[in-house]
Structure 1
Amino acid sequence: MKQKIFYIYLAIALLSSCDKLLEEKPKAIATLGALDPTTLDQTIIGVYEPLTRSRGRLWESTVGLGLELMSEYADGGSIQLSWSNYNNVMSQPNSFAQSWTTLYEAIGRANSLIDNLNRNTTLSDAVKNKAYGEAYFVRGYCYYFAVRVWGKVPLRLQPIVNANDVALALSPVNVIYDSVIRDMKFAEANLPNTTTSPGRATAGAAKTALADIYLTLGQYQLARDKAKEVMDNKANYGYDLEPSLETVYSPTLATNKEDVFSLKFSEIVDKGAFMASYWADSKAKAAGFSVSGNKFGGIISAAPLIKNWDNNDLRKKFSLYNSYLINGVVTAAEIETDIYDLRLGKYKDPNAPIDTGNGNDFYLYRFADVLLIFAEAENKVNGPTAAAYGAINQVRRRAYGVSTNTASAVADLPAGLSQTAFDDMVFRERGYEFIGECKRWFDMVRTNRLAQTISDVNSVIKFPNRKPVPTKTLFGLPDVELQNNPLAN
């Protein structure tokens, strides 16, 4: 069974005092207890905990399902219609309300730890800087996710110590990105290259996050250079492509060399992810996909990305299916023919104890991210150079089951592509490589391909109203913030 990181968070104690009977000092002060190396480590683990909470409805649920159904190639079927109808879901302010609460809980814990470290005089600088690095990494990534989903949000960089502190105006998008970059730069400078505790941030994870952030901002030279730092130092970080997709998505392995940063789940009741169960059908257990299946959506084969996917690409067979073997008999998968005709099978864990116990980790970054970020940014800066080809072709060679370091007539992109054509190929490759990993929506938005990509699918499906061309790209702030923060309106 995969090594499980058990999450222990030290409760925040509310300290107050009174000098005389009935004298009130209404302003409560929240603080963590004194930290020693053991309690510090437990507290750091607690900073990560909201992101992997099985019932927290964050990446493995609301995001893992919802954002993936917002990809042009996916549809939520009869059960999850709202997620496929962009204009509907983005007009509902509470669509991401649970994620908002969970994100800000992680941010709040990071802020509390940072504040406590600022006041601590007993821990060594080396110990404190590593702890700072992890707190800044979590806070930075949470805000990076938030700014892409909601745009302007309250930029809380200090712990909330009493109820009067909740009022905070929304920060401009550029101010939020500046804060995210500062956090990640501190993290990359102070985190270790490797970790013996899978699921903890490292310098390589922070560098990869920075490369991704720069790519989103269109700062291609910075994205290219930061991705190249990771590629050039991959031995120091222990990174490389795994030859086997089964290894990358194993529900039982604690980590692998492709794992840059992932949210860790285990085959333990309520300590796992939902992803394998969400996509599977009622025959999930017998078919070898999950302990149970919810049929929360599927894949549209007519979508151009899927229609044009080479059958010789191993990722296609690994990720998509419309039938399976049960007791040696080929059996048709349960699909909604007029809406979607394929199932997503990238996450498989038939031995999970319960649907909240699937052991599949959820990747925020893999080494494949680094290679594709570099390929895209290098092409944007210098055109389709040999280096850009080399990066994307490594990913493609793994997909075709050949050596990643040897030229392949089958796997490699054709030579002589224009800069625009190469950019299109990177966008396509990201679609294949990260299907099921909730990156497609963000990719469509940041590359200004959203309207065209949705229009291309809208024109070939039976019910075009299920996939309308989006009229907006940001969600409304949830009621929980609007009601509690008078300056958020």
Structure 2
Amino acid sequence: MKTYKYLLLLIGLSVTGCSDLVEEPKGLLAPEGFFQTTEDIQTAINATYAHAYNEQIWGRKLSNALMLRSDMAAFRPTGSTARRVEMDTHTITDDNEMVYDPWNRIYRGIAAANEAIAGAALVDVPDAEKNPVVAQAYFMRAFYYFHLVRLFGEVPYLTEPVTATTAEAQAKINKTSAEDVYKGIIKDLEFAEAHLPNTQPARSLPSAGAAKSYLALVYLTKGDWQDAYDKAKEVINNKAAYDYELDSDFQNLFNADVIDASKEPIFALDYNNVEASDNAYDQVAPMTGIRNNYRFGAGNGGWAQVVPEIKVFNDWPAGDYRRAVSFDDKAVFFGDHDSNEDTPDEAYEVNYTEFGTADGSVHEQALARPFIAKYYRFPGTFARGAVRATSHNPSMMRYAEVLLIAAEAAVEIGNQQDAVTYVNLVRARARAGGSWANDYSNTSVPADISGTVTVNDVLEERRYELAFECKRWYDIARRKIGAQAFGPNGLEVRPEFSDADYLTPIPNTEIDSNPNLE
């Protein structure tokens, strides 16, 4: 993936949400005066990507919320930030900023997509030239709505620019049924599938393969098993055309220095050369990293806010290379380790069982448990102090997930042969090990599945393969397995979990300004 720099749309196009229908315009140029060429359409589309980078979505707020709501991660127990505690304990209130910030930012991304689509209609060029460009906006609109409908269920479904700011105009905005939102998502992805090229200069630009892959996941989420299987198979059978393949080394997928050369990412967010512009930078690394850890260089470490459930680590087969990549169970701290005033400060390594103890970590926030290593171990050249920003381009979808989508759908339609094949392809890559921990190379863990594959087998494989990649909560919600996941035998025990917890409350500020959303 080559570095792809995006320009923010700083002209007078309205970027709208539901509670704040139009932002203060930055200029006076009307859409009719701006949209003249396909390059103008692309400039408008670039604004849709920029919102996803923002800390209110993938930079921190939404990504962290999805991890905390799952059964694999928890908020650092010594902390007291109410908004994160609510996410972790499923006691989410409608004034939680990890709810309303993503809501508002996602709708701004949707508004930017709507502006680009509407503006494209003003460009007088043949559809064959215009559609491959505007199809990016359709893809991103589907991307944003797919998050919204899984989080909130019924939401306002807006497909045209909103220009009026009056209370009367706002009162016309109503919730749309989840089924109709899904119909819109599928329609947008089908347009993208039909018009996007098979490959793009960067994986941060959606391709036809990305549209097919998301269609497969949308169908899987809806329980349309045959459609999910068929669409995933289209990707698998044409992987050469789309330039997809499993990376030979699982660690490469989380190494900012090499990820751009990998063929596994299908759609990614590009944080290269995006720094502190409207909070558009990656903060997942510091949120998950070990506080005061010098293992990967001075100044690295993190804020230790989102940590793994200890049972996730303990129950994960120790021979699985993905476990070594996903966690850090050691850290290097710097200071007076033995409390001897005659001994100068020095670097010392400790096991996770010593984190937070008098003889271990020098910081109370380094809890006695392993930490999530996928995002801060190899943060790239763009990393800053405490890896507050990184060059890591997180995959929103990668080829391994397509294989597991096909496997899960295959189980549901009774195709055991394909289910076994696709799960074992993912497992074989894990067995091959890689550069991070050579002692994991060519092990027998995880062993191939033989015999019958169950839905639970595939869900467990997704849990290992996609650990801490913000997928697990959506799996729990779409399969309605919260009672088991948070039950007495679950990875995280939350006996008060109820079916109401599958959906997120709509922000109270939205309901106050528009009772139709209550």
TM interval, short-chain normalised: 0.7 to 0.9
Structure 1, gaps ≥5 residues long: 15-27
Structure 1 residue 410 displacement after superposition:
4.8
What does residue 48 of structure 1 align with?
49
On the 8 A contact 1:10/1:43 being kept in 2, the answer is no
1:323 and 2:336 are equivalent in the alignment: no
On the 8 A contact 1:262/1:361 being kept in 2, the answer is yes
Q: Give me the whole-angstrom Cα distance separating, in 1, the residues matched to 2:347 and 2:304.
A: 23
1:347 and 2:347 are equivalent in the alignment: no
Moved more, 388-397 or 280-289: 280-289
The superposition leaves residues 249-304 of structure 1 with CA deviations (integer Å, 9 ceiling, x where unpaired) of: 1213435200100111126532531111111122234445973411102112224x
What does residue 293 of structure 1 align with?
302
TM, length-normalised to structure 2: 0.82
On the 8 A contact 1:10/1:42 being kept in 2, the answer is no
Structure 1 residue 435 displacement after superposition:
0.9
1:111 to 1:488, Cα distance in 2 relative to 1, 3 A: same
What does residue 220 of structure 2 align with?
215
On the 8 A contact 1:214/1:223 being kept in 2, the answer is yes
The superposition leaves residues 421-462 of structure 1 with CA deviations (integer Å, 9 ceiling, x where unpaired) of: x2111111100111111111110111121111111456x87x
What does residue 18 of structure 1 align with?
none
1:95 and 2:122 are equivalent in the alignment: no
Moved more, 1-10 or 139-148: 1-10
Alignment of 1:331-342 (within 5 A): 331-333=350-352, 334=355, 341-342=369-370
TM, length-normalised to structure 1: 0.86
1:128 to 1:317, Cα distance in 2 relative to 1, 3 A: same
Could you say what secondary structure the match of 1:487 adopts?
A: helix
1:243 and 2:243 are equivalent in the alignment: no
Structure 1 residue 321 displacement after superposition:
2.2
1:109 and 2:112 are equivalent in the alignment: yes
Letter in 1 for 2:375: Y
Q: Give me the whole-angstrom Cα distance separating, in 2, the residues matched to 1:411 and 1:161.
A: 55
Could you say what secondary structure the match of 2:396 adopts?
A: strand
Structure 1 residue 86 displacement after superposition:
3.4
Could you say what secondary structure the match of 2:60 adopts?
A: helix
What does residue 25 of structure 1 align with?
none
Structure 1 residue 414 displacement after superposition:
3.3
1:30 to 1:96, Cα distance in 2 relative to 1, 3 A: farther
The superposition leaves residues 339-365 of structure 1 with CA deviations (integer Å, 9 ceiling, x where unpaired) of: 872211111227512444211122210
CA RMSD, Structure 1 to Structure 2 (Å): 2.9
Q: Give me the whole-angstrom Cα distance separating, in 2, the residues matched to 1:478 and 1:9.
A: 27
Letter in 2 for 1:258: E
Q: Give me the whole-angstrom Cα distance separating, in 1, the residues matched to 2:293 and 2:218.
A: 37
Alignment of 1:12-411 (within 5 A): 12=12, 31=31, 33-53=34-54, 56-77=55-76, 78-79=78-79, 82-89=85-92, 92=95, 94-121=97-124, 123-164=125-166, 165-167=169-171, 168-253=173-258, 254-266=260-272, 269-270=275-276, 272-288=281-297, 291-303=300-312, 306-325=313-332, 329-333=348-352, 334=355, 341-348=369-376, 349=379, 351=381, 352-354=383-385, 355-385=387-417, 387-401=418-432, 410-411=445-446
What does residue 17 of structure 1 align with?
none
On the 8 A contact 2:110/2:144 being kept in 1, the answer is yes
The superposition leaves residues 92-140 of structure 1 with CA deviations (integer Å, 9 ceiling, x where unpaired) of: 565311101111011001111111112322x231221112211110001
Letter in 2 for 1:65: N
1:488 and 2:517 are equivalent in the alignment: yes
Q: Give me the whole-angstrom Cα distance separating, in 2, the residues matched to 1:290 and 1:370.
A: 37
Q: Give me the whole-angstrom Cα distance separating, in 1, the residues matched to 2:232 and 2:402.
A: 6
On the 8 A contact 1:280/1:289 being kept in 2, the answer is no
Q: Give me the whole-angstrom Cα distance separating, in 2, the residues matched to 1:43 and 1:227.
A: 30
Alignment: residue pair count: 460
Could you say what secondary structure the match of 1:211 adopts?
A: helix
On the 8 A contact 2:282/2:388 being kept in 1, the answer is yes
Structure 2, gaps ≥5 residues long: 15-27, 334-345, 357-363, 435-441
On the 8 A contact 1:76/1:298 being kept in 2, the answer is yes
Could you say what secondary structure the match of 2:375 adopts?
A: coil
1:309 to 1:46, Cα distance in 2 relative to 1, 3 A: same
Could you say what secondary structure the match of 2:121 adopts?
A: helix
On the 8 A contact 2:51/2:105 being kept in 1, the answer is yes
